[in-house]
Amino acid sequence: MSANHKEMWEKLDLDLTGHDALLEVLGKFYGDIYMSQQGRLKGAEYLDFVLSEIHGLRIKELQDAKAQGHKVVGTFCVFVPEELTLAADAVHVGLCAGADAGREQAETMVPRNTCALIKSFIGFKLARLCPFTESCDLIVGETTCDGKKKAYEAFGKITPMHIMEVPQQKRTSDRDLWRSEVLRYKEALEKLTGRAITAEKLGQAIRVVNAKRAALQRLNALRSADPAPISGRDALLINQISFYDDPVRFTAKINELCDELETRVAAGQGVAPKGAPRLLLSGCPMAVPNWKVPYVAESTGAVVVGEESCIGTRNSRDLVDESARDLDAMIEALVDRYLRIDCACFTPNDERLDNIAAEAKAAKADGVLHYSLLFCQPYTHEAFKVADRLRTEKIPMLAVETDYSMDDVEQLKTRIGAFVETLG
């Protein structure tokens, strides 16, 4: 991790000592989990570089954009339409919330039995450890799970926020509500940036974000090959980077990486032997640097071939219809695309069960590893339904609940290892 940006971090009022310690831990963690892999792609150099500059060059780019009059908008959920943010000439960043940082401070604001993701974004803010959060002109929250809703009430007191109301069902009246929320977000962006969102700008932004999602879809499709051409860890990292790197650069780099993967697949080369047990991960989002479960899973000899999560196919599965020509029609297309998201906060949410079964088959997964963060009600509840559905499909499933600490690594290794053995 680069440490050459002290002046910039100082200006952002980061706690420099705490931040140095965080970068050191992250660097070591990344080395252990990523640099130890055999047979990585040449294109992985991009991933290593982006990660090494996660708090450096990318933050410098954000500061340069701000100096040129652009705004930075941070989000915690894939419901916030990136297309609108880009159409307002603002920078859209996903705020990671994948590390156990500032937990004690966070627990002064939210109950202890709150999921690690929520505690993490509050902890990063209170402990002044995240240059992305500190670079934001606006942070957008959403009414998804109860934990987030209530946390945003507290978080909104310490940082400027806009909250989007996400419906809990998908009836016509819910679509109307969501449409009005998309329009309200558009207005908030126009007010923030002082720029009008035109059909031309929104059309261009839709194409940029569609291209990014199409590159991720291409990557996913290549992972159905046996032997798997890329590790689950690297694929997860690519999905994570998609939330904060420049979207045009990211798309170009991932398409280059996919070219390399195609060559590998054609040559029958992979990161694990042909026939190695294949797992689909499913459940809560895994934000940077939450790499624990795929790392543990792959250390048992299995290979992760897909992520059914928001840092995965829930974000990349659907594109926005590009055929609309006027602004109203583009907004309708955005509304439809985002309302297809199968977050566990919806009731009922049967399309998620269909999607998991379809993705497991498409990825030729031998089993599904369902992952919930401790205290996450929506995904822990849905684990039961996912298990029922996969039983009817004769796809084995193991459900694990964990958090960001490393205390349960050995226990996870034992459980996941035993599950992988049964996949034979």
Kindly list the residues in this chain that would bind ligand BJ8 in the complex (CB under 6 A).
77-79, 115, 117-118, 144-145, 147-148, 284-285, 310, 341, 343, 345, 373, 376, 378-379
Q: Find the shortest distance in angstroms from Cβ 145 to ligand BJ8.
A: 3
Q: Find the shortest distance in angstroms from Cβ 421 to ligand BJ8.
A: 29
Calpha distance 341→79 (Å, rounded): 8
Closest to ligand BJ8 by CB, 77 vs 216, is 77
What token pair was written down for 253? 């780099």
Closest to ligand BJ8 by CB, 14 vs 373, is 373
Residue 91 — φ and ψ, nearest 5°?
-95, 135
What token pair was written down for 355? 């999607």
Q: Find the shortest distance in angstroms from Cβ 405 to ligand BJ8.
A: 15
Q: Find the shortest distance in angstroms from Cβ 284 to ligand BJ8.
A: 4
Q: Find the shortest distance in angstroms from Cβ 226 to ligand BJ8.
A: 29
| H-assigned helices in 70-127 | 82-87, 103-106, 116-126
First CA to last CA distance, the chain: 39
Burial (0-12, 13-18, 19+ Cβ within 10 Å), 262? middle
Calpha distance 148→294 (Å, rounded): 25
Q: Find the shortest distance in angstroms from Cβ 325 to ligand BJ8.
A: 29
Closest to ligand BJ8 by CB, 98 vs 396, is 98
**Helices 116-126 and 146-155, axial angle in degrees (round to 10):** 10
Closest to ligand BJ8 by CB, 102 vs 378, is 378
Closest to ligand BJ8 by CB, 41 vs 344, is 344
Contact 81, 91 (CB under 8 A): no
Closest to ligand BJ8 by CB, 151 vs 297, is 151
280-to-101, 275, 332, 374 alpha-carbon distances in Å? 28, 15, 32, 20
Closest to ligand BJ8 by CB, 152 vs 295, is 152
Calpha distance 280→298 (Å, rounded): 12
Edge-to-edge strands, sheet with 91-94: 91-94, 72-75, 138-142, 161-164
Closest to ligand BJ8 by CB, 164 vs 297, is 164
Q: Find the shortest distance in angstroms from Cβ 240 to ligand BJ8.
A: 13
Q: Find the shortest distance in angstroms from Cβ 290 to ligand BJ8.
A: 11
Calpha distance 385→316 (Å, rounded): 23
